[in-house]
Copies of this chain bind each other. A is one copy, B any other.
Amino acid sequence: MVRKRSGRANARDKSEINQMPWAQLTNRLKPTEVLSQDEVENIHQNSLRLLAEVGMVMHDPKAREILKRAGCDVDTDTLRVRFDPAFIDEQIAKAPSSFTLRSRNPTRDLTFGGNNINFTSVVGPAFCSDLDKGRRRGNTEDVRNYVRLIQSINTIHLIYGTPFEAMDIPAEVRHLEGYYHGIELTDKVWASWLLGRYRADDGIDMACMLFGTDRDGLKENPACIGNINTNSPLILDAEMTQGAMAFAECGQAVIVTPFTLSGAMAPATLSGALVGQNAEALACIALLQTINPGTPCIYGSFTSNADMRTGSPAFGTPEYAMGAFASGQLARRHNLPWRSSNACTANSVDAQAAYESQMSIWSTVMSHCNMIIHGGGWMEGGLTASFEKLIIDAEMLQMMSYMLRPIDTSDEAMGVEAYKEVGPGGHFFGAADTMKRYETAFYNPIVSDWRNYESWEEGGSLTTEQNANRVWKKMLETYEQPEIDPELLKDLRGFVDQRKQEVLSGVRNT
C-alpha cells in the first residue's frame, strides 16, 4: 500500500496551465508491428486484385477520363474504373515519402513522413458541448473559442478552422470563415476542405494571399492540406474528387481516407476492411499522381468495426488499435506518410471516453502515424466536439509526447553520487542533486489532479471533466492572438466577404 503525502503544497494552483513547449514531435521508438511482411504483402495483393477485378466507381467524369487516358479500364455504364496492378504500384511510387508544409510562423512548419507525428483537433461534428451550456449545435462564437484553445494547446500542431460546424453560417460558405479563423486566430498550419473544387480553390487563394505568392510559388512550397473520404465500399464521389484534383494540380497535400467500417462498409473481418482501405486509398492516390506526379499524399486509415448489435460504429476498440498497427505497416510498405485518428465511441466525458481514446492514441503513436486527426475533443463517434474532452485529450497527447523523449543515462543522472550522499534509508527530497533538478525533473500535468484524497475532497471532489472545464476557461482568458499584418488581415476579410457573396449567389469557382 502506498500512502500519498500531503507535502509541500496541499492545493494545486489552478491558475497555472502546465504545458510542454511547442515542438515537432518524432517517435524515436521502433514501430509496433502486428503483421508479418508476408501478411502485409498478401493484403496489398488482395487489394490489387480487388481494384483489377471489381474496380472502383468514380463519379467524376474528368477523373474517369484522366484514368482512361492513363490506360485504365473504364466502364462508362457502371462508372467503374478497373486498375492494372502495375499501374497502381507505378503511380504510388511517384508520391513523396515525406513533405513539409509551411506555416505563417516559420517555426511551426510541419513535416509529414518518417517518424514525425502531427496532431490536429477534432473536425466535423455538428454539435459542441461543455459542462456549462451542455450539448448544442455549434455556432461561430463557440467555434472561435475552440480555435483559440487549439492555438493555445502546444501539443496540437495543425488547425482546422471549423473544428465543428458553425451552424449559424450557411454550409456553402462555412469553409471561408474557417480558413479565416485559422489565419486570424492561429499561427499554425491550417487545413482546407476538399468538398468540391471551389472550397479547395478558396483555400489555395487564401494561402497565396497569406504567403504573398501565386499558385506556382505555393506549388513550390506547399502550405495547404485537406482530407477526402471515399464512400466505402469502392466509390469516390464527384465533389471529393474535384476538391482533391484542385489540390493535386497545385501540388498541395491530400489525405485520402477510406471509411472502411468492418461489418458495414467492409467485410466483417479486420483483414477484409484493410484490403478495402488499401485498395481505395491507393486508387485515389494513383489518380492524384497521374494528375501531378509528386503530389504530397497521405495514406488515410479509419478502419474500425460496427457494433453488430446496434449497427453503430465503434471506435477506440481493440479492432481499431489492430487496424492502426496494420495500417502503419501498409503505409510504410508504400513509402507513404499516413494518418489515423484519436477516436472514441463514448457519449460522456468519463472513463470510457479516456480509455477508448487511449486505445486510439497509443496504437497510432506506437505504429508511427504521421498525422493524427481528431487528436483533441472528439466524442460520440465524431458527432460532438467537447470543450472538456479537448483538454483531457491535450493531457493524453502531451503525456505521449513526453514519454517519447530519450531517458537521460548520463553518469550524473544515474545518481550513484546522490545515493552516496543520501545513503540507505535517506530521503532524496533535500539532496543537492534533487534541488538542482526540482523544477523540471518530471512531467507536469495540464489537468490531472495528483493531490491526496483528503485534499481532493476539501477542494470539492472535482472530476477530471470539472477540472478540464476550469482549465479551458483559464486558457481562453490567457489566450494571445498571434500577430499578423492588419492590412493583410483586412484583405483576407475582403476576400472572404466577396467569396461568400459569390458562392451564395451561385458563383462557386474562382
Contact = CB atoms under 8 A, between A and B. Distances in A.
A276 to B, nearest CB: 7
A437 interface: yes
A343 to B, nearest CB: 8
B359 A419 contact: no
A443 interface: yes
A383 B4 contact: yes
Contacts of A86: none
A349 B351 contact: yes
A8 to B, nearest CB: 6
Interface in A295-311: 305-311
Contacts of A4: 312-313, 345, 380-381, 383
A54 interface: yes
Interface in A315-351: 317-319, 321-322, 326, 345-351
Given A4-B380, A384-B453, A57 B424 contact: yes
A441 B350 contact: no
The bracket for how many chain A residues form the interface is: 35 or more
A413 interface: yes
A441 B409 contact: no
A271 interface: yes
A209 interface: no
A392 B351 contact: yes
A414 B263 contact: no
Given A366-B32, A433-B268, A464-B348, A39 B409 contact: yes
B267 A434 contact: yes
A29 B29 contact: no
B399 A359 contact: yes
A489 interface: no
Kindly report how many copies of this chain are found in the complex they form together: 2
Interface in A224-279: 231, 233-235, 259, 262-272, 275-276
A264 B7 CA distance: 11
A258 B347 CA distance: 41
A448 B233 contact: no
Interface stretch (A42-50, A213-221, A474-482): A42-50
Given A1-B382, A9-B309, A263-B442, A271 B413 contact: yes
Contact of A463 (B12, B348, B448, B461): B348
Contacts of A313: 2, 4-5
A110 B396 CA distance: 34
A53 B358 contact: no
Nearest to A426: B233
Contacts of A359: 358, 399, 403
A353 interface: yes
Contacts of A411: 46
A6 interface: yes
A291 interface: no
Contact of A29 (B34, B384, B418, B434): B34
A450 interface: yes
22 contacts: A2-B382, A7-B311, A32-B32, A56-B424, A233-B424, A263-B442, A267-B413, A268-B433, A306-B442, A308-B438, A308-B441, A318-B400, A318-B403, A319-B442, A348-B462, A348-B464, A351-B392, A352-B449, A354-B358, A355-B357, A380-B452, A380-B453
Q: 3 nearest interchain CB pairs?
A: A7-B311, A272-B415, A267-B415
Given A267-B413, A305-B442, A326-B407, 5 more contacts: A49-B416, A266-B428, A275-B414, A319-B442, A351-B468
